[in-house]
Structure formats: structure tokens, C-alpha cells
Amino acid sequence: MKQVKSDGGESAAPPATYEELTRTIHEKFSRFSPTNQRIAVYITQNPNNVPVLSVAQLAEQCGSHASSFVRFAQQLGYQGFKELQQVYKARLATAAPGFDARIDALKSDLQTSGKGGAKGFLADLVVRDITSLEDLLADIAEEDLQHAVALLDSAETIYLLGQLRSEPIVALLRYILTMLGRRTVLLDCSGGLATHIAQTISAKDVLLTVSFRFYATEVVNVTEKVAEQGVPIIAISDSTLSPLAKSATVLFSIPEHEYTFSRSLAAPMCLAQALTVALAAQQQSSEDSPPRIPFVTQR
């Protein structure tokens, strides 16, 4: 099906399904304006919000303007944003509840919404972490976990890269992987050697890289360079539109639904631990007991 342009020419019909729309957004993302990139990230991370909120509400949550959402839809070939929403409404019938809906339900169940003070902040963070963990369990694919564990298991050396807020995740991974007896190298930015050490990584190794918005420049650059060397890459990030996505052999996308002062690491930490526990289980010879990590300290 073709659509006729106002100048008499023809253009391809806009995406008719959610899968087609998501694929089109990924293909066009690098050519979007900064505003449209922000909108693209928001709607791909919050697909269940798109069909139920007004364009004004979506724009407010995204930090943009309603007119920008309309222009974004038109750039994808739709007449307006309502036409794009119809694609998401068709998906909603089979989708799990959205992030906001889960939060509201948990707050109601736990009766925390009326609490104030420091305990109120704690309650709010706990509710959001529970919601993020539920989404993690629903969204992460078994085949991706198995693929990542297989890469870790077969690697001669496991290289880890993460800076700023992602640094605690790779620090935990270095500790656990070392306790599992795996040769592990943390690409530390101190001394300015991370980029140079990365040049020594071979295709027999694996790089596990972690970065969330706003992405650490050195992490993105090193990841891209290592990918050019043919090294398998396991990436943990916040979006399938992350700059790490194009380099990843396996990408784990853990959306951050609000860019507030406190951005929890509960979900990515849980994923990191799951990868190491699965790796430990694969390495452990006995099937009669759960995988264990040796104690470092002595009682």
C-alpha cells in the first residue's frame, strides 16, 4: 500500500504493526533529531503508556511538547499521533500491565502512598524496585541468558567495562567471576589505560559492558572499538536504542522509566547475579546441590 504525498509523489505506508513500528524506529534512530530521539527512547521503553495516556501526558513524562509527538509520528509516515497510538492499542490486548500501572497497584497493596518523611522515600523506592524486577523477569528472554552464559563460559578472559553509576555492577561481577576461578579483567579508567588495554582483547575473549543514560563516552567508544576487533560483547543498558546496542552480540535492555535523582541498580544487579549463578551452575560438576561461590574470608 502506498500513500500519496501532497506534491503528487508516493511514499511507503506507515508501519501497520507494533513489530514493524519498532523496527522502523531502530532503523531511523540515528537520523532523528535530538528531540525525536528522546521521544523514540521514551515510547520504546514505555509501550504500554502510549495507548492509554493523552499526547499531552506523554509529552510531559518525556520532557517534550505535544506538537513534537505529532511531528514524530508524521516523520514515520502517519497522518498524526493518534494513528501511531492505534498501533500500540492493538498490542495492548496481549501486553502485561505498564510500569505506572504496576506501581499504582503495588502502592495500593502496600498502602505506602500516604507515608511521608524518610520512610516514605524508602517505601517509594522499594515499590519501584519491585516493579522493575517484575518487568525484568517478564522481559528478559531465556535464549539471551543462555547465549550470554555460553559466551562467558567459553571465553579465555572476561573483560568488564562500566563507569559512573554502572561501576558497582562490574565491580560485583569481577568479584564473583574471580571467585569462580575465571580470568577476569576490569577495564578501569584510572591511569587512562582502559582504551589501550581494550586493544589487547581477542576474539577468544568476551567483553561485558554496562552503561545507562547518560552514557559514559569512554565506555561507548571502547565498546565500539572492541566490536570492530570481532570480540563477542554482552551489553547491559537501558534501551534497545542505546549506543551499545549496535555493538552487542547479546543485549539486555533494562528500561529506566524515570530519570530522577535516585536511579536504582536493583534490576541490573539482579541480572548480573543471575548470569554468574547460571555460569556457576554450568561449571559445577555436581547436580545435587545449588551452585555456590567460595568464601573469601574465614570464620
Mean pLDDT of the chain: 83
The percent of residues in the chain predicted with pLDDT above 70, rounded, is: 80
Position 140 scores a pLDDT of 92
Q: Per mean pLDDT, which of 43-57, 91-105, 147-161 is the most reliable?
A: 147-161
How far from chain centre, in Å, is Cα 34?
Answer: 19
Q: Can you point out the beta strands (E) in the chain?
A: 2-4, 10-12, 158-162, 184-186, 206-210, 233-237, 250-253
For 76-119, what is each residue's pLDDT tens digit?
Answer: 999 999 999 999 888 776 554 554 555 555 555 555 545 667 77
Over residues 58-75, the pLDDT tens digits come to: 999 888 999 999 999 999
Give me the CATH topology for the region 142-283.
Rossmann fold (3.40.50)
Distances, alpha carbon 21 to alpha carbons 40, 52, 74, 95, 246, in Å? 11, 18, 13, 16, 18
Mean pLDDT of 208-229: 92
Is pTM beyond 0.95 here?
no
Q: Which of 2-6, 38-42, 229-233 has the lowest mean pLDDT?
A: 2-6
> pLDDT digits over 4-18, tens only?
444 444 456 889 888
Residue 95 has which C-alpha cell? Answer: 501486553
CATH T-level assignment (fold) for domain 2-92: Arc Repressor Mutant, subunit A (1.10.10)
Of 100-109, 118-127, 281-290, the least confident? 100-109
